[in-house]
């Protein structure tokens, strides 16, 4: 699979080279699970351990731009939630939702990102941890590291690592996804009951593409430190918007839309698993790889997605930039839903109802069939009379 507008900016949506580099490593105690799970650190044969790392990615560059344009340090706070949720919701896809231990790593260029900015990131961690505690999700902050690495980092990197133990009998293993499953998608946009404002659904994937396709040459001319010097002028900030411009179809700005904190689905997933764990064959987090992410899981299956959500305004604006074809848009971005449950059809309506109690839209967005050759996985997206195949 190719995503040329993304690759040309130095980012791979599928990370095939990374997958090749680790192909000979152990797959852990549940091969095929969404995350690698290892033998229990405490030595209990009934448990396993997850150690997972991820981060906010290049979203931090947009936070830096917003800070420089407004003088407001609060824009850095959301990066903590982005970094944390990219871990929590990955682990939740394995059924790991409780007693999470968190450590964070911040790498900064101290000439550009000062202590006030770092304080806002830490404040952001405290706020999202407290908010999740209010939803019954316990996360313990165990400290972290802030490194001044200005020779390597132009602005700021915010990464997190989570450690958790899980009962093996409770693990959700995406290797079990099979023909006959229906796919229930949870919307990434809107305003959940535990969110303070409208969420554009941006999350923390595709930010390199999003900011360069949406934002205009003003940022190329004034903020050279916000992008790589390996990126040519023809690929840097090619859009029509300023951060302060209104995002069409919404009452928020483009900057606010791009920086909308990554929604966590932990409260929903926890409640679903409490009622339907036996009916759930897999959970997929549509992050790196977008709507084609599921291709990496299960064996000999075809994922047919023929009832996707209508493109939310932010993704519509990215598409209307004219820089990215629809097939690639689905491969790079979540495009409207970020969590997928692979379940028995009889359980789908109950899961949809649970999501709606959190004011999160949900629906059956597709189903699973046997692949055309019975071996290689494939994804077929049907939308607006078009069909896009990923194999």
Q: Beta 156-167 vs 100-108: how paired, if at all?
A: antiparallel
Torsion angle of alpha carbons 280, 190, 211, 162, nearest 10°?
-40
Torsion angle of alpha carbons 216, 221, 226, 227, nearest 10°?
80
Could you tell me the CATH number of the domain that includes residue 146?
3.90.650.10
Place 12 in a pLDDT band, splitting at 50, 70 and 90. Answer: low
What integer pLDDT is reported at residue 1 of this predicted model? Answer: 37
3-class state of residue 363 by DSSP:
strand
Q: Is pLDDT above 80 for 165?
A: yes
Q: Is pLDDT above 90 for 22?
A: no
What integer pLDDT is reported at residue 34 of this predicted model? Answer: 97
What integer pLDDT is reported at residue 21 of this predicted model? Answer: 73
237-260 per-position pLDDT tens digit: 999 999 999 999 999 999 999 999
154-163 per-position pLDDT tens digit: 999 999 999 9
The pTM assigned to this predicted structure is: 0.94
Q: Is pLDDT above 80 for 15?
A: no
The H or E element containing residue 200 is none
* Mean confidence (pLDDT) of the chain: 95
Phi/psi region, residue 355 (left: phi>0; alpha: psi -120 to 50; beta: rest), is: alpha
Q: Beta 337-343 vs 182-187: how paired, if at all?
A: antiparallel
Q: Is pLDDT above 70 for 8?
A: no
What integer pLDDT is reported at residue 375 of this predicted model? Answer: 81
What integer pLDDT is reported at residue 317 of this predicted model? Answer: 98
Q: Is pLDDT above 80 for 2?
A: no
Exposure string (b/e) for 376-390, b if CB count within 10 Å is 16 or more?
ebbbbbebeeeebeb
| Averaged pLDDT for residues 143-149 | 95
What integer pLDDT is reported at residue 349 of this predicted model? Answer: 98
Count of domains for the chain = 1
89-141 per-position pLDDT tens digit: 999 999 999 999 999 999 999 999 999 999 999 999 999 999 999 999 999 99
Place 17 in a pLDDT band, splitting at 50, 70 and 90. Answer: confident
What integer pLDDT is reported at residue 372 of this predicted model? Answer: 85
Which residue intervals of 223-308 are DSSP H helices? 254-258, 266-276
Residue positions counted in the chain: 391
Domain that holds residue 271: 4-390
N-terminal to C-terminal alpha carbon distance within the chain: 7
The H or E element containing residue 390 is strand 386-390
CB of 363 closer than 8 Å to CB of 184: yes
3-class state of residue 4 by DSSP:
helix
263-314 per-position pLDDT tens digit: 999 999 999 999 999 999 999 999 999 999 999 999 999 999 999 999 999 9
Q: What's 125-177 look like in SS3?
A: HHHHHHHHHCCCCCEEEEEEEEEECCCCCCCEEEEEEEEEEEEHHHCCCHHHC
Strand partners, 167: 47
DSSP 314-348: HHHHHHHTSSS-HHHHHHHS-TTEEEEEEE-HHHH
**Nearest by Cα to 391 from 304, 267, 287:** 304
Both tokens of 234, joined, read 């023809």
Strand partners, 162: 52, 102
What integer pLDDT is reported at residue 18 of this predicted model? Answer: 67
What integer pLDDT is reported at residue 20 of this predicted model? Answer: 76
313-352 per-position pLDDT tens digit: 999 999 999 999 999 999 999 999 999 999 999 999 999 9
């Amino acid at each position: 699979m190719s995503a040329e507008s993304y690759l040309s900016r130095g980012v791979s949506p599928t990370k095939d080279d990374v997958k090749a580099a680790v192909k000979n490593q152990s797959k852990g105690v549940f091969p095929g699970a969404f995350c690698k799970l290892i033998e229990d650190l405490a030595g209990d044969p009934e448990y396993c351990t997850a150690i997972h790392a991820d981060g906010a990615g290049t979203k931090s560059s947009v936070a830096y731009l917003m800070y420089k344009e407004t003088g407001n340090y609060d824009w850095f706070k959301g990066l903590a939630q982005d970094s944390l949720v990219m871990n929590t919701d990955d682990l939740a896809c394995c059924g790991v939702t409780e007693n999470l231990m968190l450590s964070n790593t911040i790498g900064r260029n101290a000439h550009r990102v000062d202590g006030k900015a770092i304080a806002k990131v830490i404040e952001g961690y405290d706020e999202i941890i407290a908010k999740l505690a209010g939803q019954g999700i316990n996360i313990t902050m165990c400290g972290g590291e802030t490194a001044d690495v200005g020779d390597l980092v132009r602005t700021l990197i915010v990464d997190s690592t989570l450690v958790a133990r899980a009962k093996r009998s409770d693990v959700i293993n995406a290797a079990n996804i099979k023909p006959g499953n229906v796919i229930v998608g949870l919307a990434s946009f809107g305003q959940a009951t535990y969110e303070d404002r409208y969420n554009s659904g941006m999350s923390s994937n595709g930010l390199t593409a999003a900011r360069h396709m949406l934002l205009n040459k003003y940022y190329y001319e004034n903020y050279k430190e916000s992008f790589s010097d390996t990126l040519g002028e023809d690929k840097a900030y090619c859009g029509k918007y300023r951060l302060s411009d209104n995002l069409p179809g919404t009452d928020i700005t483009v900057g606010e839309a791009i920086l909308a904190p990554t929604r966590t689905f932990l409260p929903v997933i926890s409640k679903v698993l409490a009622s339907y764990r036996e009916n759930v064959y897999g959970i997929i987090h549509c992050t790196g790889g977008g709507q084609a992410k599921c291709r990496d899981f299960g064996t000999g299956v075809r994922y047919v997605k023929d009832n996707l959500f209508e493109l939310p305004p932010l993704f519509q604006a990215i598409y209307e930039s004219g820089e990215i074809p629809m097939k690639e848009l689905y491969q790079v971005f979540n495009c409207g839903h970020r969590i997928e449950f692979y379940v028995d059809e009889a359980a789908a309506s109950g899961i949809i109802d649970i999501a709606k109690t959190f004011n999160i839209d949900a629906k059956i967005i597709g189903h699973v069939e046997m692949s055309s050759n019975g071996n290689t996985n494939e994804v077929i997206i049907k939308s607006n009379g078009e069909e896009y195949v990923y194999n």
